[in-house]
Amino acid sequence: MKPAPFKYIAATSLEHALSLKAEYGDDAKFLAGGQSLMPTMNFRLAQPAILIDLNRIESLGGIRPGDAGGARIGALTRYRTLERDSGFAQMFPLIAEALPHIAHPQIRNRGTIGGNLSHADPASELPAITLALRARFHLQTAKQKRQVEASDFFLGALTTDLQPDEMLVEVELPLSKPRTGSCFMEVARRRGDFAIVGIAAMMTLGDQDECTHIRLTFCGVGETPIDASSAADSLIGSVPTEEAICDVAASVQAIIDPGGSVHATADYQRHVAGVLTERALQTALQRVRDGH
């Protein structure tokens, strides 16, 4: 239960960190909050030769206003920072609602947004939420920058589009449309555990209370966060009824293909996904109508 030997380098700037990664590639790992990487190193599942500590690069953390009214979150921003920011919670109620489900207070004090997303655990909440919010990921190497949509970032379990010399430096969250209600729910074995099924739902209504947009994403039911928004196509254009929402739940159950585990069979996951779809859409709908 001790990490294998490695060489530790505390990067002093983003440029320093990226030049080290360019030099060492896959032999090196970035160390952000360490709440996923350190356990795997303690178990020796990960044995990086070089550890590039990002924690002293202050410019990598913090929340900045986005170009079109949204927000840009630095990769080194800790969950706790988001949790304590009431303005952020107001702007992104979906994230605020999910944060208490993400591990425990001690973990949230250290864990970072960029670390979580780069780790890309399919049972983790944040990847599914960034997918629902249509987040844009800013990636950078020593030589160039590029942007990737959340829908193109997660390629498989613990696998992302990040190249060996690349770092996720910022997450750009667009502002939701007016009259959008959101809801995050999950079923886990214990508070703070990874979800057996988690759902992030967003519903936008038009002037006549007709549904104009729906985002429906899941964690825990596949190799990546799953976008099942198409299951709600039938809702678009009409005022959502209870019956129509039940049909969406059935359609979600047909779309997803959960893997099952020792803790929950695939059938059980599919059942829970249906139940959560109904509840989350009803809640999101109620929230738009209540005006929050």
N- to C-terminal Cα distance for the chain? Answer: 47
Decide if residue 263 touches other proteins (CB under 8 A).
Answer: no
Smaller CB distance to other proteins: residue 41 or 200?
Answer: 41
Alpha-carbon gap, residue 93 to 170, rounded angstroms: 20
Say if CB 94 and CB 100 are below 8 A apart. no
Q: Which of 89, 107, 175, 275 binds other proteins (CB under 8 A)?
A: 107
Decide if residue 192 touches other proteins (CB under 8 A).
Answer: yes
Smaller CB distance to other proteins: residue 10 or 22?
Answer: 10
Decide if residue 77 touches other proteins (CB under 8 A).
Answer: no
Burial 201-227 (b: 16+ CB within 10 A, else e): bbbbbeeeeebbbbbbbbbbbbebbbb
Decide if residue 1 touches other proteins (CB under 8 A).
Answer: yes
Residues 6+ apart with CB under 8 A from 106: none
Smaller CB distance to other proteins: residue 9 or 246?
Answer: 9
- C-alpha distances (whole Å) from 13 to each of 10, 55, 146 are 9, 10, 19
Alpha-carbon gap, residue 71 to 87, rounded angstroms: 11
Q: Which stretch binds other proteins (CB under 8 A): 19-27, 35-43, 69-77, 178-186?
A: 35-43
**How deeply is 114 buried, as exposed, middle or buried, from its count of CB atoms within 10 A (0-12, 13-18, 19+)?**
buried
Q: By rule CB under 8 A, what string of x and - marks binding of each residue 54-73 to other proteins?
A: -x------------------
Decide if residue 51 touches other proteins (CB under 8 A).
Answer: yes
Decide if residue 213 touches other proteins (CB under 8 A).
Answer: no
Q: Which stretch binds other proteins (CB under 8 A): 49-57, 64-72, 173-181, 264-272?
A: 49-57
Decide if residue 34 touches other proteins (CB under 8 A).
Answer: yes
| Shortest distance (Å) from residue 190 CB to other proteins | 8
Alpha-carbon gap, residue 94 to 96, rounded angstroms: 6
Q: Which stretch binds other proteins (CB under 8 A): 19-27, 50-58, 159-167, 176-184?
A: 50-58
| Shortest distance (Å) from residue 209 CB to other proteins | 34
Alpha-carbon gap, residue 142 to 159, rounded angstroms: 21
**How deeply is 283 buried, as exposed, middle or buried, from its count of CB atoms within 10 A (0-12, 13-18, 19+)?**
middle
Q: Which stretch binds other proteins (CB under 8 A): 20-28, 98-106, 147-155, 205-213?
A: 98-106
Look-up of token digits 């605020």:
96
Rounded to 10°, the helix 266-290/242-255 angle is 140
Look-up of token digits 């208490």:
100
Q: Locate all alpha helices (DSSP H) within 139-227, ordered by sequence.
A: 150-153
Site for other proteins in 9-28 (CB under 8 A): 10
Q: Tell me how many residues contact other proteins (CB under 8 A).
A: 31
Decide if residue 97 touches other proteins (CB under 8 A).
Answer: no
Smaller CB distance to other proteins: residue 34 or 66?
Answer: 34
Say if CB 246 and CB 281 are below 8 A apart. no
| Shortest distance (Å) from residue 289 CB to other proteins | 27
DSSP designation for 61: S
Which residues of the shown chain bind other proteins in the complex (CB under 8 A)? 1-8, 10, 31, 34-35, 38-39, 42-43, 51, 53, 55, 80, 100, 103-107, 109-110, 190-192
